[in-house]
Amino acid sequence: MTSHSESRDLVYWAGDRRYVGTLVPAVAEPRAAAVLLPDWRGRSHLALDHAGHLASAGCAVLVADLYGDGLNPTDPEQVGPMVQHLLTHRADGVAALSAAVEALRQEAGPTLRVLTVGFSAGAVAALDHARRTREVAAVGICSGLLKTAEPHTPTRVEASVLLVQGTQDEVSPMAAIADLVAEADAAGNDVRLLLLTQTHHAYDNPDVGTDPKARLVYSERSAVRMRRALTELVDEVCEGA
């Protein structure tokens, strides 16, 4: 797996807003490129670890900056208004992700197919971007904060979509999953849904602990299955090149 020491900052701009992502090179010659949108903590150790997995699968990876100016919050109390801003200014998230995709293309090469991978809060921009642009070949959503399209915006997604969600997720419960699936069916979208039972929100994050009564619960089994599914998604993107 790629060492974090091999990564470096990559600055990109969306309008007059400066973003600082982290570029993680592929372990070998890259066969695809991936923009990873992390959970609320931004470019955390976990986000870099996920990026390392994608790098080992053959991707040049850019861990995107969710908030701008390279901010990586550490206090959950601090982050509430930031996530709310993402949810009320969703077009800004699309513009920022488009800028990240372009920055990654310039670094990794314009011929590589691109996928986006969104975790928790990062899932909102990943899905909106796929609805409103045709810039990526696939989207992976893992323990995502699931939102259907905003009113009067497109619902059609040309990219293939993978959702890896827990049945006991209180942040995106089964009703939210059902709404997203209904939107996909109505729009004719290609969505693969991997449902993991006994799995809560943040199942990929060892830092949240394993108390089954908590809102956020780590599951090593589910995290392994999620990474296996992401590897398969990368393989499919490369085979479709």
CATH of residue 208 = 3.40.50.1820
Total domain count, the chain: 1
Tokens encoding 148: 């259907």
According to the model, what pLDDT value does residue 75 have?
A: 86
Average pLDDT score over residue span 43-69: 97
Q: What is the pLDDT of residues 132-171, one digit of tens each?
A: 999 999 999 999 999 999 999 999 999 999 999 999 999 9
The interaxial angle of helices 90-108 and 122-132, nearest 10 deg, is 80
Helix (H) or strand (E) holding 59: strand 59-63
List the domain range (segments joined by +) for residue 21.
4-239
According to the model, what pLDDT value does residue 5 have?
A: 59
Does residue 194 surpass a pLDDT of 90? yes
Does residue 4 surpass a pLDDT of 60? no
Does residue 210 surpass a pLDDT of 80? yes
The interaxial angle of helices 76-88 and 122-132, nearest 10 deg, is 10
Which stretch of 32-41, 65-74, 98-107, 134-143 has the lowest confidence by average pLDDT?
65-74
Task: Please say whether the beta carbons of 117 and 34 come within 8 A.
Answer: yes
Does residue 13 surpass a pLDDT of 80? yes
Average pLDDT score over residue span 194-212: 98
Helix (H) or strand (E) holding 86: helix 76-88
Average pLDDT score over residue span 173-198: 98
Average pLDDT score over residue span 70-93: 92
Q: How far apart are CA 172 and CA 6, in angstroms?
A: 34
